[in-house]
Structure 1
Amino acid sequence: MSDAAAPKRGPVSLDGRMRQRLDWMARRALKLADLRSVLKRRRFGRLRNEFYETLWRDAAQELGADYSDIGGLKRISLNGLVTFVSHSDLMLDDVITTRVMAHKAVTYRLLSDKGYSVPDHCVFSLDRLGRARDFLTRMPGPIVVKPATGTGGGNGVTTGIRTQGELLRAALHAASFNAELLAEPMLSGSCYRLLYLDGQLLDAVRRDPPTVCGDGHSTIHALVKTENTNRLSRRPITALSPLVIDQDALHHLSAQGLKPAAAIPAGKPIVVKHAINENADRENHTVTGDLHPDIVSAGARLVTDLGVRFAGLDIIADDISAPLGANGVQFHEVNVGPGIHHHYLVADRSRATPVATRVLHYLFENRQGVMKV
């Protein structure tokens, strides 16, 4: 049976036929809708390579280290020591740690076991959609559906789900990326990324949802297309991913009474989607100095206890300047090899933290993640 053909119905139960149909629809969703977004993201591969090559070369030069490219890996050597980097990947965390932290439900379990506040959640799949339906019914507000593991960059995420129909569409979208799915409440508060290296805080940024600004005549679809063209051509670089009108964007726009074909008044900003991974520098803000010491120390203990050496801790909070018990903070994800670009592509570049330089200095100074040559 080809993926393009409808599934044949054999002597199976109604539930079995429904599962077949849902699985087929999920594969079709990937081929027809998500394929376009995959192709768009591939166009940004060269941009990402350009950004990180410049980043590590400049950081090496600042330290007086030698820099070269070997088979796509960046070789940086200083005083008889050498380290290799690839984008944000360092020679520190092992593959198993990376896999464990990439599984969102497992991460929640680990955080909860350590006494940290995590969102209520439900793990399900298309053939166990009833779990998600029950979860939606008992939630007082909208929920989020996403792949439980194996994806990054916001792929497959749909926010603001309130109805059974929206849940089914979101589940089909997420299942085109991974069969195991996660539902959780849509939390209030801002999203923050705290960057740690061996338990030491390097930087913190607030990450806001992606927006476009109306010009009085262009549709949202046209504004997004222009935004992506600008992202590819502008220097200095403003973003490393395209802004994609996917299921999350369609759902978020609909909640505002908008469609991609709607024209936006001049000067009016529109949040295209709630998922933050496709935002640009104008929507990222350095906030390291605003963090309460309670949050900094709690995050340090957490990533150290979990054995994650280079960690991006995602939290959601109403007020990061308040003590830990008074700000409604939720610990959300622990990312291994987190994107360094989030800390450079910020609205006020004069406040950006030179993360790459600090990382290299730490590695060579402490002989961590390096080879002796």
Structure 2
Amino acid sequence: MKPDIQLLRINYLRGPNMWTYRPVLEVWLDLGELEDFPSNTLPGFNERLTAALPALVEHHCGVGERGGFIQRLHEGTWCGHVLEHIVIELLNLAGMPTGFGQTRSTSKRGVYRMVFRARDEQVARAALAEGHGLIMAMINDQPFDVPAAVARLRDKLDDCYLGPSTAAIVSAATDRRIPHIRLNDGNLVQLGHGARQRRIWTAETDMTSAIAENIASDKDLTKTLLKAVGVPVPEGSAVKSPEEAWSTAQDIGLPVVVKPSDANHARGVTLDLRKQDDIHAAFHLADKEGTEVLVERFIPGVEHRLLVVGGRVVAASRGEEFHVTGDGTHTVRQLIEQQLNTDPRRGTAEEFPLSLIVLEEEPVICLDLQRQGFGPDDVPPAGKQVMVQRTGTVSNDCTALVHPEVAHAVSLAARTVGLDIAGIDLVTPDISRPLSETGGAIVEVNAGPGLLMHLKPATGSPQPVGQAIVDHLFAEDETGRIPIVGVAGSRGGSIVSRLVAWLLHLNGKHVGLACREGLFLGTRCVEKRDSSRWDSAHRLLMNRVVNAAVIENDARSILTDGLSYDRCNVGVVTDMGGMEQLADHDIQDADKMFKVMRTQVDVVLSDGAAVLHAADPRLAEMAELSDGEVLFYAEDGSLDAITKHRAKGGRAVFLRGGAAVLAEGPAETSGANLDALLKRFGPGKTDAATLLAAVAAGWALKISPELIAAGLDTFVPDLHLA
């Protein structure tokens, strides 16, 4: 019996980090005795593991081809690496595909750092716990229930991660490189940063009117407004008693529909009612689900759901009825379990387009069965078809069939109610023909509609509804991004950050600043404590008045949390100092420090710039890592790195005669007087290189040399800490 692998430290890196651009779970683990036992020395281990997780054959690992990880297993690899692949495979099986993972040894024998991609911290921690249990069971030849572990992970995923509708919108935003921030444990998500953000809550947006939502929740009022603009709706009215429901049904003409005025998901809706007793029973069902009961003319045809986004129909689904066929032996309840609930489209999680049918929770279905002469425990004759469900089942894509006049009526309905995103329910025998020809009508307008039926239809093609919503919120050339400047280093970072924030302020921006000296909004200090942390910076990105942000980072914050932003316009790296304070992160040589500090350069946007201190040869090496432009700065403009950079037409900032020189290729512009600002700071408070970094960052932001000079002339160091 081998002792357990010890999990020494578990840390969630929420932003770009030394491992990858994405959030990861970093685990420090001690193999203990297992350090002496790679996989090929553990009897039967490889066979047990691949039998438990056969899809491990799909893991390429470092080999780069299918079966690569299996090859590593047989050659002999250490258990930390094996645990990484086990966790990734469990996440794949649970429905959160994960492809990234790494395991690296530390300076202490038997201790490793393992990381894997983690879209949600709680799900990742749960996967780690299951993976840890599985690997120890395989090592010690003990039983382990993989399906049960995967089921637990799926439950955790359902509890913690975004619902399918929200996830589709976020995925579409990511495809357009629009950043996102999850604002609560549910489906409230911010797309974009600062003043350019938009918010979604499932399929509702910050453009969705509260008045429109209230109108949509009142079906009688909705119908009145639609009728006024010429949209076909079924005749009907609100009633207050079963007797009034029967009387109204007679006035309208049978058959009728009885439904609550303000319920969702077809709860309490009973169709095709022709008898007084049935209408009385349907009234009581509807009355339990809403504040008012409606009786409407029954529209013959098929239920449809059309999705309108920004006044345009972007998807449509058609419903279907579900029946069971009697065999003379089984009850209705048993037939439902055998013939309907086994449908792979049905389930209890949000990802399933159809729900499981539980008769105790479906009084409308029970009433429909009763109208056909059956109770749940009755046995239908062999060959007898019994209708079970005909509402709330729109899951067959028919987008391509929608007639233009139907689309016009549906779009008009959404505009009339005032919804930017709406799910329109209509009934028609044929959606490819105008409603005026088929006698079809719009029966309901829904705010915050679910998208799953369009994302995973039972038949037909999925529709890009997430993309449609993102395109509705952001113009084609919008990314939701505000200018972000990231400043990394151990010396002078706060001064660089404050100076750059001041330059942006003079350039007309409402600037958020998070640095060691505090948290600032504009020129106002809102928090006098070290704010060079992930949570402080994130507050700026969530602030709707901030249209530019300057954020200081050091190596420890990158190692502890990752960067607070996914990409930045300007990334400044001042130095690679501070390594002596990072022994707890096993940063003990310049190469490891390089990997940490390059994170700031890795996230520079292609139309942005990396600002690097050319006097440090290792920082100059980072130039090739930048997706954007590179600006070098140094006190000495004759440095080899600057000379070669200028020879290629690059930009650089250096010191000459006490003033900053802004050079682009052979051209030079004399800029700010640094000597005067150094005197205002006072002896030993800063140095010229630090001020040059701020000048270079301002120039990278396309701030004019004249405004940069004015900014340095007017910057008062102590005033900004008041």
TM range (shorter): 0.7 to 0.9
Pair 1:240–1:364, CA change in 2 (3 A): farther
- The residue that corresponds to 2:215 in the other structure is 100
- The residue that corresponds to 1:256 in the other structure is 372
Q: Are 2:317 and 1:205 equivalent residues in the alignment?
A: yes
- The residue that corresponds to 1:142 in the other structure is 255
1:130 aligned counterpart, secondary structure: helix
Q: Are 2:237 and 1:237 equivalent residues in the alignment?
A: no
Distance 1:366 1:93 in 2: 20
Which runs of no fewer than 5 residues in structure 1 stay unpaired? Answer: 1-44
Q: Which of residues 341, 364, 368 in structure 1 aligns to 2:474?
A: 364
Pair 1:144–1:232, CA change in 2 (3 A): same
Report matched runs for 1:307-326 at 5 Å.
Answer: 307-326=418-437
CA drift of 1:327 comes to 2.1
CA drift of 1:249 comes to 0.9
Native 8 Å contact 2:306 2:317 kept in 1: yes
Point out which structure has higher relative CO (alpha carbons under 8 A, 6+ apart). Answer: 1
1:272 is matched by which residue type in structure 2? V
Q: Are 2:274 and 1:189 equivalent residues in the alignment?
A: no
- The residue that corresponds to 2:712 in the other structure is none
Q: Which of residues 259, 273, 298 in structure 2 aligns to 1:161?
A: 273
CA drift of 1:237 comes to 3.2
CA drift of 1:337 comes to 1.9
Distance 2:285 2:445 in 1: 24
Pair 1:87–1:271, CA change in 2 (3 A): farther
Q: Are 2:234 and 1:119 equivalent residues in the alignment?
A: yes
2:205 is matched by which residue type in structure 1? L
Report matched runs for 1:30-179 at 5 Å.
Answer: 46=159, 50-52=163-165, 54-71=167-184, 72=186, 73-77=188-192, 81-126=196-241, 129-149=242-262, 151-179=263-291
- The residue that corresponds to 2:462 in the other structure is 352
Native 8 Å contact 1:159 1:248 kept in 2: no
1:365 aligned counterpart, secondary structure: coil
- The residue that corresponds to 2:404 in the other structure is 293
CA drift of 1:108 comes to 1.1
Pair 1:159–1:113, CA change in 2 (3 A): same
Q: Which of residues 320, 323, 328 in structure 1 aligns to 2:439?
A: 328
Distance 2:202 2:381 in 1: 39
Pair 1:269–1:342, CA change in 2 (3 A): farther
CA drift of 1:74 comes to 2.1
CA drift of 1:214 comes to 6.9
Distance 2:435 2:298 in 1: 20
Distance 1:156 1:48 in 2: 30
Distance 2:370 2:277 in 1: 14
Which runs of no fewer than 5 residues in structure 2 stay unpaired? Answer: 1-157, 481-543, 548-722
1:353 is matched by which residue type in structure 2? Q
C-alpha offsets along residues 114-135 of structure 1, whole Å, 9 cap, x if unaligned?
1222211121113xx4321212
CA drift of 1:60 comes to 3.0
Distance 1:293 1:168 in 2: 39
In percent, how many aligned pairs have the same letter? 26
Distance 1:284 1:266 in 2: 29
2:365 is matched by which residue type in structure 1? A
1:171 aligned counterpart, secondary structure: helix
Native 8 Å contact 1:192 1:207 kept in 2: yes
Instruction: Answer with 1 or 2: which has the greater Rg.
Output: 2
CA drift of 1:157 comes to 1.9
Distance 1:340 1:142 in 2: 31
CA drift of 1:102 comes to 1.2
C-alpha offsets along residues 226-253 of structure 1, whole Å, 9 cap, x if unaligned?
756864478x933364434333212222
The more displaced of 49-58 and 200-209 is 49-58
- For normalisation by structure 1, the TM-score amounts to 0.73
2:370 is matched by which residue type in structure 1? S
Report matched runs for 1:335-346 at 5 Å.
Answer: 335-346=446-457
C-alpha offsets along residues 337-373 of structure 1, whole Å, 9 cap, x if unaligned?
2222221231236x110101221133121799x8675
2:465 is matched by which residue type in structure 1? V
Distance 1:171 1:85 in 2: 36
- The residue that corresponds to 1:20 in the other structure is none
- The residue that corresponds to 2:36 in the other structure is none
The more displaced of 239-248 and 186-195 is 239-248
CA drift of 1:202 comes to 0.9
Pair 1:211–1:79, CA change in 2 (3 A): farther
- For normalisation by structure 2, the TM-score amounts to 0.40
Native 8 Å contact 2:243 2:280 kept in 1: no
1:288 is matched by which residue type in structure 2? T
1:304 aligned counterpart, secondary structure: helix
Q: Which of residues 366, 383, 389 in structure 2 aligns to 1:273?
A: 389
C-alpha offsets along residues 217-276 of structure 1, whole Å, 9 cap, x if unaligned?
653323545756864478x933364434333212222343433224578999753133x2
Report matched runs for 1:20-35 at 5 Å.
Answer: none
2:475 aligned counterpart, secondary structure: helix
Pair 1:196–1:179, CA change in 2 (3 A): closer
1:272 aligned counterpart, secondary structure: strand
Distance 1:320 1:108 in 2: 20
Pair 1:66–1:213, CA change in 2 (3 A): farther
Pair 1:305–1:249, CA change in 2 (3 A): closer
Native 8 Å contact 2:348 2:356 kept in 1: no
Distance 1:57 1:65 in 2: 9
1:247 is matched by which residue type in structure 2? P
CA drift of 1:106 comes to 0.7
Pair 1:83–1:169, CA change in 2 (3 A): same
- The residue that corresponds to 2:413 in the other structure is 302
- Tell me the matched-pair count: 319
Native 8 Å contact 1:47 1:240 kept in 2: no
CA drift of 1:103 comes to 0.8
Distance 1:197 1:218 in 2: 46
